[in-house]
Structure 1
Amino acid sequence: MRIEPRVLSYKEFPASPAVAEGMKVMPLNPDAVYCSVLHNHPYCEREGRRLHMHLILPSQHERPDKIWPLLAFIQGSAWRQQNLDANLAPLSFVARQGYAVAIVEYRPSDIAAFPAQVQDAKTAIRYLRKNAGQFNINPEQIVIWGDSSGGHTALMTGITWHDQQLDTDLYNEYSCQVKGIIDYYGPTDITKMNEGHSRADSPEGLLIGGLDVLENPEQAAPTIIMNHIYEETDIPPILIIHGNKDRLVPFEQSVLLYNDLKQKGKDTEFYKLEGADHGGPDFWSDEVLDVVQAFIHRL
């Protein structure tokens, strides 16, 4: 007798009774998270240049519509052209812990000076809120995270969410406010960097339009994080992690930020990573990521 084929749901489909000698049985983990990557997804166009993001999107067995907290990651690049793949591998591991991750591209400084990078990051957060349903993102649980120059942009984006002078009107029906900021060894005051970082052709000089930083204090001032922190203004909690042997961004840059935040009564945590240089595997160890997750969970 011929049986007509029919489509069965996962619950309706019977488990196979077949056995094999020596076969081992593994139980199903219903909480296992699988991640897929959407490369170079466009989110806006600025001055004829299309900007993209990589999206690391988790999914779970039998829960395809679960919504996930979002980590918007700003990749460090000395404010130049970013390599969005640079931390794709460790961020994919982070995503498996139950987060959607967006690695956000901004306009590089040789094309657009400050505050273009901050404007683009804010636009990306608004775009992700607008399309939260498409990506199964929880629009109320967004944290911004960045390393090095990306840390600077993450701080500036999260702290100045209300500042229209550092923003544009694209997707402005959606908020760019975030729940928290994670700063990995970001510069905070470009007028107090190492020798050679004030020239017009340095990363800091290019950030302000190819000008000498020390000779142009009016152009440098808006890039200084502490100049945007006020006692009367609400800003998200901030986690700072910095190595005390950083040869590129002095550890003192994070000390300046932390002391200013504490003086103004802001919610902040600061971790000195003993012996760590500028980036690398030290910042993606289980111990450091445990600190990051604990910070996110308390927001």
Structure 2
Amino acid sequence: MNSPLNGYAAPDISSMIAPPSPQPLAPVPTPIPETKYFQHTDEVPEGCIVLDEPTEDSFGYPVDMEQVTYVTRQLADGTSVDLPLWVFTPGVDNMPEGEIPEGGWPVIVFVRGSAFHEQNVLDYLNYYVRIAERGYVVAAVKYRASDDAPFPAQMQDCKTAVRFMRTNAERFHANKDRVALWGDSSGGHTVLMAGFTGDTVPDTSDYQPVSAEVKCIVDWYGPTDFAMMNHYPSSQNHHVPECPEGVEIGGVDVLEHPDLNKAASPMTYLSADRPTPPTLIMHGGRDQLVPFNQSCRLYATMRALGKDVTFYKLDNSCHACYGFRSDAALNIVFDWLTNRL
């Protein structure tokens, strides 16, 4: 059998490249912070395209990800379920000018929406990475689905995730005093409920007495008043027992149970005498699933109570798309967080 090297003759490239050192060179010790000063090479083979820019990395920090179980819950049918967090942490080992800030990275506990049903948490993987690149620890939460555990299970799981991150702050190089909530759709509802109630009921005993109070909240197009959703244009019915809101309050008709609707409304937990975390609301003017008015109701209530609230209407954006998957939308959040987290 002929070897593929049989008859192979390497081309002579000696005239095309820089000549080698006569002897092997000793390594040049270069600590990571000094990499930008490493000896420059002037070698340019004919046809090579030389770029003077870019000279700076624009992605931000490299990102590490770890999946952990933050709590095990007992379900009504007697079974148990391990609830995971996916923790995305900025990395500095291979970033010359990167360093962990004093006290650790600020933390964002992120709740992905799912109409309160089973979540596909990692379908927002690109968001988590982009956020962590900016210098935040992101804890992406899996909550109990409403089919297995209705309200207030989701907000309780969110609070437990906050406490878990505080308890394990050193492990993730996180700052336990700089914790924010961010959620979209049903996740927006969840973070509003958890953020507005903090260490008050509805609550759980997990990781107590560690606090579940947070510095601020980012709500992307979350429902806020189930009973009013059908009074504004939508692509679905929001009051029948099998709708997401009906399942969330126990599989009942929303309009027939004002007491349950009130209990599941974030506005119920706002008052002038109880401090409320600063809140950023963002909602699309063409949202086909959660009527834009839901955020208007929350915003008007918070304004009337003198709360720190900021509201952006993405005029032609829909539910989770046509504007929300953009650097512009993320930059609004990052700029807002700069002054509040």
* TM-score, normalised with respect to structure 2: 0.79
1:44 matched to 2:67? The reply is: no
The alignment's C-alpha RMSD in Å is: 2.5
Counterpart for residue 267 of structure 2: 226
Q: Which structure is larger by alpha-carbon Rg, 1 or 2?
A: 2
**Aligned mate of 2:31, from 2, 10, 18:** 10
- 2:85 equivalent in structure 1: 53
How far apart are the structure 2 equivalents of 1:201 and 1:193? 15
Q: Percent identity?
A: 38
CA distance in 2 between counterparts of 1:30 and 1:151 reads 29
In 1, Cα distance between the equivalents of 2:184 and 2:126? 15
Partner of 1:3: none
> For residue 188 of structure 2, what is the aligned residue in structure 1?
151
Distance 1:181 1:122 in 2: 13
Map 1:164-175 onto structure 2 (within 5 A).
165-175=201-211
CA distance in 2, matches of 1:196, 1:32: 42
Distance 1:19 1:235, change over 3 A: same
Whole-angstrom CA distance in 1 between matches of 2:58 and 2:153: 43
Tell me the distance in 1 between the aligned counterparts of 2:260 and 2:59: 51
CA displacement, residues 16-44 of structure 1 (integer Å, 9 cap, x when unaligned)? 76957218798676995111122x32111
Structure 1 pair 29–282 and aligned structure 2 pair: CA distance change class (3 A): closer
Q: How do 1:124-139 and structure 2 match up within 5 A?
A: 124-139=161-176
Of 297, 315, 319, 1:256 maps to 297
Equivalent-residue separation in structure 1 for 2:204 and 2:91 (angstroms): 33
Aligned-partner residue type, residue 216 of structure 2? G
Aligned partners of 2:199 and 2:211 also within 8 Å: no
Moved over 3 A (4+): 8-20, 23-32, 62-66
DSSP-derived class of the 2:191 partner? helix
Unpaired runs of at least 5, structure 1:
1-7
Mapped pair 1:282 → 2:323:
yes
Q: CA deviation at 1:133?
A: 0.4
Q: How many residues are paired up?
A: 292
Q: Letter of the aligned partner of 1:42 in structure 2? A: T
* Shift of residue 9, structure 1, vs aligned partner: 8.8
Out of 103, 112, 116, the residue aligned to residue 75 of structure 1 is 112
Distance change (3 Å), C-alpha of 1:104 and 1:18: same
Q: Is 1:22 the counterpart of 2:44 in the alignment?
A: yes
In structure 2, stretches of 5+ residues that fail to align are 1-28, 75-79, 231-235
Q: 1:118: which partner in 2?
A: 155
Measured at CA, do residues 113 and 30 of structure 1 come closer, stay the same or move farther in structure 2, by a change above 3 Å?
closer
